[in-house]
Structure 1
Amino acid sequence: MSHGLEVHVDGTASFVSANGVDAWHRLGTVTQGALTAEEALEKSYLSGWNVRKIGGVNAVEITDHGVTRIDSPDEYFTVRNNPKTGAVERLGTVGRVYEPVQNEAHTEMLNLLMDESGANFETAGSLHGGKNVFVTMKLPMGVQVGGFDRHDLYLAGLNSHDGKSAFRLLLSPTRVVCANTQAMALKDAQASYSIRHTVGAKGKIAEARKALDIVFAYVASFEREAEKLINESLTLGEFEKVCEQIWPINEPNPGKRKITNHRQRMGTLRNLFENADTQAAIRGTRWAGYNAITEYLDHHAPAGKNPIQAAETRATRTLTISSDASKDKQKAYDLLALAV
């Protein structure tokens, strides 16, 4: 399925989950208990792909003047063996120095982190026809904002087999009460760690224990910034101004549909801020304003009429730093933290 979770010819999906908590947990088969690396790969059909590079590519052009053949020694295909049929499938076009990172190496690196941190495997899956793969782990430490607003911490390993992105580790705090994924880019802490697909990448992956330093630095920074927001009040009028800056109507004469969508969005956001049970303990604070916006983006923003497709869209949003939802979350944080 090109738009999201990979679904095979027999109807099974390349996804496995240990628990049903977050947006990405709403897809595929849900199992009980923590997964091992081997179980995560086997149950999500990520084992034995044998991702490899085939090159170079010979381009042929046929015109009235004859046949022109162009050698392109620096251009290669990445291919895999389909985990269900064994058929060879093209994943992407890459350069000469690109080196594939197998899914097994992916979880091998995460195993190193699990040994160091005591984390448990949670989910694993394949997106966009095998072009992208993810494995997530739940870290044993959590965050208590204000001493009571609890967040679990997840570490996602994201691998690309089509040459469009590096192997990345992404840290995501998730607010337990409403399963909001937080996406704050903080000034003094990173929430991701990238490894290029080049010769020696596997050795670099072994060094990814350094990512734990990023985790601890981010947790401390996240908790500190969240504490500032929870200790500052926010009126409904101030909240509405923030929302208007995130979703402005810039046209002098907007159409009826745009006005209707804007009013519906603002109505949902007001209700989340003023009345939602998920904000009850933090009502009237800047932290509540931020979480009302993230709750809207994670659970209420339009994602398609088909429930399965909508779930896939929301799952992909949570695992994509560059998604519009992640950008809107960052803008919300920047606006609300500006006056603190």
Structure 2
Amino acid sequence: MGNRYYWGLGALLLVSLLVSARVGAVSIPYDRILLYLKHAVSGGNAAASIEERLFLQIRLPRVLLCAFTGAALAVSGALMQALFRNPIVEPGLVGTSSGAAFGAAFVFVMGKNLTGAWVDAAGPFLLPLFAFAGGGAATWLVYRLSNVFGKVNVNTLLLAGIAVNALAAGGTGFFSYIARDPQARSIVFWNLGTLSGADWSNTGIVAVSTVAGIALSLGYAKALNALMLGETEAGYLGVRTTRLKGRILLINTFMVAVATSVVGVIAFVGLVVPHILRLLKSADNRFLIIASALLGAILLNFADMLARVIVAPSEFPIGVLTAVAGAPVFLYLLIRAGRRQQEGGFYA
């Protein structure tokens, strides 16, 4: 199903990865990129030139981290929209991103004060763990507040999201206030979204969480399709809706929190990508999950390229770019949802 779209998106993803690997403060010709990749795959001698080290240690992990992050955010958006049965939902609106940001800010400022054997054991996973806890708590709270009489109300959802986002932002602001200058600066830039800290370690962590999240999501695609008919109807079809909602929230929070703990807050990718795919092909979640991963990686890679070019040799915050591009789309969907609220179905 949708093989033509998969092949097309896959080819476009490869092109975006190749172009993104070339663009930056230092432009690397395509023939050298292929040569450096050949050296890396063959396991030859260590990088002989500064340019090759730059490509293998900085540019390549950044490009891959961007792709996995875009895939995680886009798939998360598709899952949230199916779970809430509303196309205007995305991780930033339901508190996942801001909650994860709060958890990460806590680690930035208080991390050195945390003691115990579990802290030593967590090591590099300490930041993702706290981001996961913060994102999960915020998402659960928004869902509980918006679930009025067993049905998610759009207006209540938006209001709950605003309140929880404000609460999490206040907590992050508090940690920024008490932080020392280097810590505060890190929090500020991290909240704007940045891929400048990419390395093979955090790229591997995000890659594992994203691939695992997508694989688990595919197992619930049919159940999510049934849930779009309504919780009662899905129950008649044998779907255990309570268990399904809990597991989807867990998968969503896992993917978004890990990605957010590494790259910061990047909004609206999860809103725009699934909507584009519904217009192009179908609202079937079996198609949306895979296609969203591909298109999300493509769009975020192009956004990252633009971020590196606008103010070169400096770098523009990628979260600002996605917000500027995504906010008009969100307003359009919000107006459209309001007009169709009485029609029932997915846009109710």
Fold shared, TM-score > 0.5 on shorter chain: no
Greater helix fraction, Structure 1 or Structure 2:
2
Alignment TM-score, normalising by the size of structure 1:
0.24
Q: What is the TM-score with the length of structure 2 in the denominator?
A: 0.24
